Structure 1
Amino acid sequence: MQPKYKRILLKLSGESLAGSKSHGIDFDKVLEICRPIKQCADMGVQIGIVVGGGNFWRGRSSGKMDRTRADHMGMLATTINALGVADALEQLGVQVRVQTAIEMRQIAEPYIRNRAVRHMEKGRVVVFGCGTGNPFFSTDTAAALRAAEIDADIVLKATMVDGVYDSDPKTNPNAVKFDSLSFLDVLNRGLQVMDSTAASLCMDNHIPILVFSIDRPENIVKAVCGEPIGTIVKVVKED
């Protein structure tokens, strides 16, 4: 198999790291997810990873807490996940660095764009924690921002569903899956790909998004090699 993309930004949800558990980290599941990441790295693909924190904390669900403080707690949750992913990759023999948007030098590098790119050029996987480092911005927006900053060819969003549908496939058995969409379709129809800030950022920087299921982690390799899985969102002429 030959990779289609030279440099990718992989967005992993916190929920995917919990596996069959409803909370926390299932390390066996993390290893399962990291094996195809190693396979992609071995093919020469340069990889950046943004991790969510929903398996530990969902601040938006608590209306009584100050939003800024709740978001800061979520950033710390992403750091736990980033360290877990890094440990799994290292156990598999992959060189990895964790960079966080909030400085915590004892456990991770501070995020520095040029250093992150240099790590990837040397074959190291870089895991980005703490989102953007700012409240009111999701980790999807962090993925779009980091993708733009490191000049990624594509954002690969590994989710709990196998693509983008016109309605919720969990509640509507007649929901229709899209193979491809434009960014304007996503924004105008309010489709659940990424939040509007993240989608707009990718659209403005002409970075496509591929949404696919992480239920089978080998889909990461298929996505990197350009196989027809999931839903691709891209800029088209009418955009």
Structure 2
Amino acid sequence: MQHQDGGTAGDPTLRRVMLKISGEALMGDQGYGLHPPTVERIAREVQSVHEMGVEICMVIGGGNIFRGLQGSAQGMERTTADYMGMLATVMNALAMQGAMESLGIHTRVISAIPMDQVCEPYIRRRAVRHLEKKRVVIFAAGTGNPYFTTDTAATLRASEMSCEAIFKGTKVDGVYDRDPMKYPDARRYDRITYDEVLQKHLKVMDASAIALARENGLPIIVFSLDAPGGFRSILAGEGTYTRVED
């Protein structure tokens, strides 16, 4: 088990972080869609970190909704399909907002595509102010542009919000040299550089997101979102994870 330098419970090592999760993380054991108990469980993980005084941004992918539409999207031009995926992220963000607010946490959904009836448009200063007021901010609709993934959107927003790290929640407790679900002898990295991730084609984030994180000196912390208390334990200076940095 790897321990991060410094920090004890209640004294988080980081003050503002970005949590990036896939849309698939919200669907539980279902093939697609939202699984309310799973959404609530993740909301409670975020709540446990929020209670430490950490300012939290989130970006959620849209795969749980859009994967189910991909059959109908075949033959569709990439731009249209990407916009459909962006709308799926808004649906997930609203679901997470509902779960967070049911726990008493003030949450704002901020969309890169204006849709004033359901969420706020992206204005950087306003988003920063929400964080300063200890609201959880969920950034939806990616970057607002086709051809960019939600990984890139998370890295972009984390840079704009001056986050100190990106937390990538996955099904495994870090980055491995090969798929640990298929290979029991797969080796987990405690630390790895951005360049090694790119050279070894490790599936942490897409290449443009990794490059953007490297340019802005944003460490990426890959951890298991399925492990109860995993998010909080890392911020308390404990836990098992992989840290990607220079």
- Report the TM-score when normalising by structure 2: 0.92
Moved more, 226-235 or 8-17: 226-235
Which residue pairs with 1:44 in the alignment?
53
- 1:133-152 correspondence to structure 2 within 5 Å: 133-152=144-163
Q: Secondary structure at the match of 2:66?
A: coil
- 1:33–1:217 Cα contact (<8 Å) kept: no
Amino acid at match of 2:141: C
Shift of 1:173: 2.5
- 1:100-119 correspondence to structure 2 within 5 Å: 100-119=111-130
- 1:154–1:208 Cα contact (<8 Å) kept: yes
Q: Does 1:212 align with 2:223?
A: yes
Q: Structure 2: state its 5+ residue gaps.
A: 1-8
- 1:212–1:229 Cα contact (<8 Å) kept: yes
Give me the whole-angstrom Cα distance separating, in 2, the residues matched to 1:185 and 1:117. Answer: 32
Amino acid at match of 1:94: I
Give me the whole-angstrom Cα distance separating, in 2, the residues matched to 1:220 and 1:28. Answer: 18
Give me the whole-angstrom Cα distance separating, in 1, the residues matched to 2:179 and 2:48. Answer: 32
- 1:156–1:223 Cα contact (<8 Å) kept: no
Give me the whole-angstrom Cα distance separating, in 1, the residues matched to 2:244 and 2:116. Answer: 36
Amino acid at match of 1:105: D
Q: Does 1:22 align with 2:22?
A: no
Shift of 1:225: 2.2
Give me the whole-angstrom Cα distance separating, in 1, the residues matched to 2:31 and 2:225. Answer: 16
- Report the TM-score when normalising by structure 1: 0.94
Amino acid at match of 2:142: G
Which residue pairs with 1:159 in the alignment?
170
Q: What percent of counterpart residues are identical?
A: 47
**1:178-220 Cα distance to aligned partner (Å, 9 max, x none):** 1110111111111111000000000000000000111124211
1:121 is aligned, of 121, 125, 132, to 132
Q: Structure 1: state its 5+ residue gaps.
A: none
Root-mean-square deviation over aligned CA pairs? 1.4
- 2:230–2:239 Cα contact (<8 Å) kept: no
Question: Which structure would you say has the larger RCO, counting Cα contacts within 8 Å and 6 or more residues apart?
Answer: 2
Shift of 1:63: 5.0
After the TM superposition, which segments of 4 or more aligned residues of structure 1 sit over 4 Å from their partners?
59-63
Shift of 1:36: 2.2
**1:32-57 Cα distance to aligned partner (Å, 9 max, x none):** 11112112112111110001011011
2:63 is aligned, of 54, 64, 70, to 54
Describe the shift of the 1:107–1:217 C-alpha distance in structure 2 as closer, same or farther (beyond 3 A): farther
Give me the whole-angstrom Cα distance separating, in 2, the residues matched to 1:67 and 1:218. Answer: 38
Give me the whole-angstrom Cα distance separating, in 2, the residues matched to 1:171 and 1:47. Answer: 33
2:42 is aligned, of 30, 33, 36, to 33
Amino acid at match of 1:34: A
Shift of 1:228: 3.8
Amino acid at match of 2:148: F
Amino acid at match of 1:220: F
- 2:20–2:151 Cα contact (<8 Å) kept: yes
